[in-house]
């Protein structure tokens, strides 16, 4: 009887990685990922403060060319999708099993939902007038698909996409398909479906973001396990962000293929 009890899995074990995963996470920790995530966040925040709604100071936004040069929010969003797939790929190398799936979902929930609920509450308080359907929809990540965005935090549209990708990853994890063919299929859906009137635009929107998410996953699963710490090419990443927006790549991808034209301007 005692042996049966010790073999049972305590629910608390699901909230933290197994010892093998903890060791692996420490070995694979990459400061460059945090640096890149920080740059993308700064770019998105900069663009929202000075270029979109002008709510911080309606009487001021940069007028010099250099100010517009650093407006690269669209590229930042695409980098976020890529980083999300990359991190999920690095931290989920164990075989698919019920225990590992529960641990994965709980870790995603704990990492995301508490701060997300706080962001929703602050948004509701800052700008009132949302319906109960909108509030409940945002609390369950149904914005964009079922309900509207809350008025006080339009950037939450990206979290709906992230949650969808987290759930779809379970199928990828289970079946272990080749990632590159999945990317090509998503590319076809993203490019073709917008021209089919009967298909909801949201489908091609999912496929578009899924391309970048899968690309990050592919990089993680193909990443060689090197013990040496690589340098962080800060200037190169900055130029990638700027080029993505100034060549209208990010805007075209997010705006033309499924995502509502008003949404990219709020990301």
Tokens of 158: 């990206």
pLDDT one-digit tens code per residue, 241-254 = 666 665 655 556 55
d(CA 102, CA 109): 10
The predicted structure's pLDDT at residue 6? 39
The predicted structure's pLDDT at residue 14? 39
Categorise residue 32: left if φ over 0, alpha if ψ from -120 to 50, beta otherwise.
alpha
The predicted structure's pLDDT at residue 139? 96
d(CA 267, CA 76): 9
pLDDT one-digit tens code per residue, 28-81 = 567 778 888 888 888 788 777 777 666 667 777 666 666 666 677 777 888 899
Single pTM value for the model: 0.76
The residues, any chain, with a CB within 8 Å of residue 135's CB and separated by 6 or more, are 120, 124, 150
* Domain map (residue ranges) of the chain: 15-95+157-266
The predicted structure's pLDDT at residue 159? 93
């Amino acid at each position: 009887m005692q042996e049966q009890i010790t073999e049972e899995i305590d629910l608390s074990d699901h909230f933290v990685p197994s010892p093998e995963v903890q060791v692996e996470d420490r070995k694979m920790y990459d400061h460059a990922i945090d640096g890149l995530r920080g740059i993308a966040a700064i770019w998105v925040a900069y663009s929202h403060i000075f270029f979109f709604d002008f709510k911080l100071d309606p009487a001021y936004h940069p007028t010099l060319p250099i100010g517009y040069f650093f407006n690269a929010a669209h590229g930042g969003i695409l980098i976020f999708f890529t980083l999300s797939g990359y991190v999920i790929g690095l931290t989920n190398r164990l075989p698919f099993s019920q225990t590992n799936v529960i641990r994965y979902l709980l870790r995603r929930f704990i990492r995301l939902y508490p701060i997300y609920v706080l962001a929703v509450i602050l948004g509701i308080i800052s700008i009132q007038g949302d319906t109960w359907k909108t509030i409940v929809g945002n609390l369950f990540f149904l914005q964009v698909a079922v309900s509207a965005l809350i008025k006080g935090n339009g950037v939450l549209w990206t979290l709906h996409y992230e949650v969808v990708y987290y759930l779809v990853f379970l199928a990828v994890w289970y079946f272990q398909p080749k990632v590159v063919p999945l990317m090509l299929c998503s590319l076809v859906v993203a490019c073709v479906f917008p021209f089919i009137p009967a298909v909801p635009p949201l489908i091609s929107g999912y496929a578009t973001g899924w391309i970048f998410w899968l690309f990050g996953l592919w990089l993680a699963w193909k990443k060689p396990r090197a013990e040496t710490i690589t340098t962080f090419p800060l200037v190169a990443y900055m130029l990638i962000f700027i080029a993505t927006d100034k060549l209208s790549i990010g805007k075209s991808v997010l705006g033309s293929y499924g995502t509502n034209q008003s949404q990219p301007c709020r990301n």
